[in-house]
Amino acid sequence: MRGPHNIWRLIRTAATFERTGALGVVLNEMDAPTSIRVVVRLFGWTMRWAGLKGDPNMPPVTRALNALGPAYIKFGQVLSTRPDLVGGDLATQLRVLQDKLPPFPTDVAKATVEEELGKPADNIYSEFSDAVAAASIAQVHHARLISTGEEVAVKVLRPNIERAFRKDIDAFYFAASVIEFLSPSSRRLRPRDVIEHFDHGVMSELDLRSEASAASEFFENTKNDEKFQVPLANWEFSSRRVMTLGWADGLPLGDNDALDAAGHDRVALAQRVLQLFLSHALRDGYFHADMHQGNMKVAANGDIIAYDFGIMGRIDEYTRRVYAEILIGFIRRDYKRVAEVHFEAGYVPADRDVDEFASALRAVGEPIFGMDASQISMGRLFHYLFEVTERFGMETRTELILLQRTMVVVEGVARSLDPYINIWEVAHPVVEDYIKSNLGPRAMMRDLLKTARVLARFGPELPKMAEAALIHHSQPPAKPQTTSPWRPAMYILLGAVTAWTGFLLALAVLS
């Protein structure tokens, strides 16, 4: 339940960061001014008694986030992929949050399996190990099916995880409301909408039937992708709180020493991770939206194996084209076109100056064009981008939050594999191929063909629609009207004829 009682939750958050020593680490990493340090530390010290102690064996920030709960852990997972923002040491510490959290007892997991699947776990699996990975929402067990002998991964939700997430998210909603009230300028960032988007994603992640469905769809989309694997879900032994998935055998993508020892090419892996994400987002409009190192392995043959499909992103075809045009514009250093696309898509208010916006984008792109990742300060870049969005009145686009967040995570993963990766060069061929396939003359013909197919379904109804339009036109209206009642029907009829003409033209061009 949202309300002022969440003030206590937020106070406890600050107090926990102070008690665990995380507050000082965060202030140092942010290079906070002395005045801010004094105020924050004084408040934290005053309320220190209210903070959670956490696991003293963990580093401070990891300890604080783990103590505060699953929603905070999710935030830490994102930061763990950005050593350029939080520093290499802190990023390494936070990586524990990806899949190395304290597990709950195996007996509890087996009891959940029996409750969900209707039969004891020992009657389904001939082997059922202790947890091999434990994250914020669930943990994974290595098992073997009695019926087929297949090695599988059994994912089981943590006990009472739904209630724990609900408490955290309610506090986030309250914090967003306070921010909007105290800072009217922040409303363009739509903090409540951002939290609502996060809320929706988390609730989907807490239903493993949705994850099984996502795994199945993702497998179908990517089964022909080279050097990429997706395990198949076993629907017979999956439910809301339990999911059985094919076993992924390989080295963790985040263990550079192990990858080097096994002879894997980390430069090639970094490029493939970035290109696979762009390909899935642009080509399919459906992408893995939680691509941190804890959710990917490298098989013995060098294939990248993706798993954990609790958070998936979907973008429509129009948005994909806008996103591709923005990317290719930056790659080609055509900042005027990038600016025009932003205006055409409605991302920038129409009353702003397009040339001035193009100049601001040039100031973003030119300093980093052609540089490798080691030469780019993402912290300074994000800071300037925030200034640009504020200056031009750009609001947060909730439909792009997941795409943008995943792009940040994937770029961070690629950096961790190859600190010298040039993201523009790596992205270029994927975006170029998409542009050629989806923004040229043949793409326009395909669009006409799709429109014709949709309108063709109304073919049998066209005579009736024309007759109804003529009848309405011949009868005088009972009352004066500003819009004739037959006009919409005539528009539909005219549109159908136009689309049919386009259909014939498309056939001629594509044949």
* Residues near 493 by beta carbon (within 8 Å), at least 6 away in sequence: 462, 465, 466, 469
- Indicate the residue type of 399: E
Q: Name the percent of the chain lying above pLDDT 90.
A: 28
Helix (H) or strand (E) holding 229: strand 228-229
Q: Is the pLDDT of residue 188 over 70?
A: no
pLDDT in tens, 97-131: 766 778 899 999 999 999 999 999 999 999 999 99
pLDDT in tens, 273-290: 999 999 999 999 999 988
pLDDT in tens, 341-357: 888 888 888 888 999 98
* The predicted structure's pLDDT at residue 197: 67
Alpha helices in 366-486 (DSSP H): 378-391, 401-417, 423-438, 441-456, 462-474
User: Of 154-163, 245-254, 479-488, where does mean pLDDT reach its minimum?
Assistant: 479-488
Confidence of residue 86 (pLDDT cuts 50, 70, 90): low
Cα separation, 143 vs 240, in Å, equals 19
* Residues near 326 by beta carbon (within 8 Å), at least 6 away in sequence: 338, 341, 342
Helix (H) or strand (E) holding 268: helix 266-279
Cα separation, 191 vs 185, in Å, equals 11
What are the backbone dihedrals phi and psi of residue 157, each rounded to the nearest 5 degrees, phi first? -65, 150
Pairing of β 304-306 and β 228-229: parallel
Q: Is the pLDDT of residue 501 over 80?
A: no
Q: Annotate 320-360 with DSSP letters as a single string.
A: HHHHHHHHHHHHHT-HHHHHHHHHHTTSS-TTS-HHHHHHH
CA-nearest of 121, 90, 84 to 106 is 121
pLDDT in tens, 206-221: 889 999 999 999 999 9
Confidence of residue 502 (pLDDT cuts 50, 70, 90): very low
Supply 387's token pair.
């200034």
Cα separation, 434 vs 59, in Å, equals 44
Domain boundaries of the chain, sorted by first residue: 6-99, 249-438, 441-510
Supply 430's token pair.
């994927």
Q: Is the pLDDT of residue 384 over 80?
A: no
Cα separation, 33 vs 36, in Å, equals 5
Maximum mean pLDDT: which of 76-80, 101-105, 462-466, 480-484: 101-105
Supply 225's token pair.
């992708």
CA-nearest of 115, 191, 206, 200 to 158 is 206
CA-nearest of 154, 166, 230 to 198 is 166
* The predicted structure's pLDDT at residue 171: 76
Supply 91's token pair.
């990023």
* The predicted structure's pLDDT at residue 142: 95
In whole angstroms, what separates CA 265 from the centre of its chain?
Answer: 27
- Indicate the residue type of 364: V
Cα separation, 69 vs 3, in Å, equals 19
Q: What is the set of active-site residues?
A: 290
